[in-house]
Amino acid sequence: MSDKKIPKSVIERIPTYLDFLKQIDLNDNQTISSTSLAQALGLGEVQVRKDLNIIAGNGKPKIGYNMKDLINKIKSIIRSNEYTNVIVVGVGHIGQALANYQGFYEKGFIIKGLFDNNKDKIGKVINNNTIKSYEELGGFCINEKVDLAIIAVPLENAQNVCDDLIKYGVKGILNFTNCILNTEHDIKVRNIDIASMLTKLSIEINN
């Protein structure tokens, strides 16, 4: 990356910007101002201006930001000019839902493989993906250059799977278990712990 590091807080907002920009007709609107973006997304307008300056850095006074350019800049930050390969490890209820999830493709992700160690599941087809044996994980990750993996296995297997994925060169993990994954290498991990989300909501309601 030639550019400076993007602050964590800005990363959090980038998908929101991209989603919104994508849904606007580029023929009708060639530029957009930070003011209108801020209003539509419920953010501060100075914040949006600062974000866009970090992301694209070529707004024009009086005119705003060129939408096409903005979208391309964001896409290049995400590296989503091409599709990114993702695998799902663990095809339980959550794993199945993910395998069927329609939102990935339009955001530039393709589920390339499903893995499970349950013999009854191996070979079954979900949404055009055949469930593979866990033994095939290593070879697959290396051959297909898998960068991102989703862990949706039972809690007790999560750390093992995580260790394996790192070994096989995966660079980012989306973890659906509430296991605190131990990762020494510089791999990126994000956790989605659904029950904890409810817990946090519960606290906020009473806070």
Query: Which residues of this protein are in contact with DNA, per CB under 7 A?
Result: 7-10, 33-35, 43-47, 49-50, 52-53, 57-65
CA distance 109 to 204: 33
CA distance 48 to 53: 8
CA distance 7 to 115: 34
165 binds a second copy (CB under 8 A): no
Residue 34 CA, distance from chain mean position = 25
Under 8 Å between Cβ of 189 and 172:
yes
Q: Residue 129 binds which one of DNA, a second copy, none, with CB within 5 to 8 A depending on kind?
A: none
85 binds a second copy (CB under 8 A): no
Whichever of 26 and 180 has its CB closer to a second copy, that residue is 180
- In the chain, DSSP finds a helix count (H) and a strand count (E) of 9, 9
Whichever of 61 and 203 has its CB closer to a second copy, that residue is 203
Residue choice 48, 91, 98, 165 for contact with a second copy (CB under 8 A): 98
Torsion of CA 149, 154, 159, 165, to 10 degrees: -20
Stretch touching a second copy by CB under 8 A, among 59-67, 88-96, 138-146, 157-165: 88-96
Whichever of 30 and 100 has its CB closer to a second copy, that residue is 100
SS3 158: helix
Under 8 Å between Cβ of 43 and 17:
no
44 binds a second copy (CB under 8 A): no
Whichever of 64 and 95 has its CB closer to DNA, that residue is 64
Site for a second copy in 99-118 (CB under 8 A): 100-101, 103-104, 107-109
Q: Residue 200 binds which one of DNA, a second copy, none, with CB within 5 to 8 A depending on kind?
A: a second copy
97 binds a second copy (CB under 8 A): yes
Q: What angle do CA 57, 74, 13 make, to 5 degrees?
A: 90
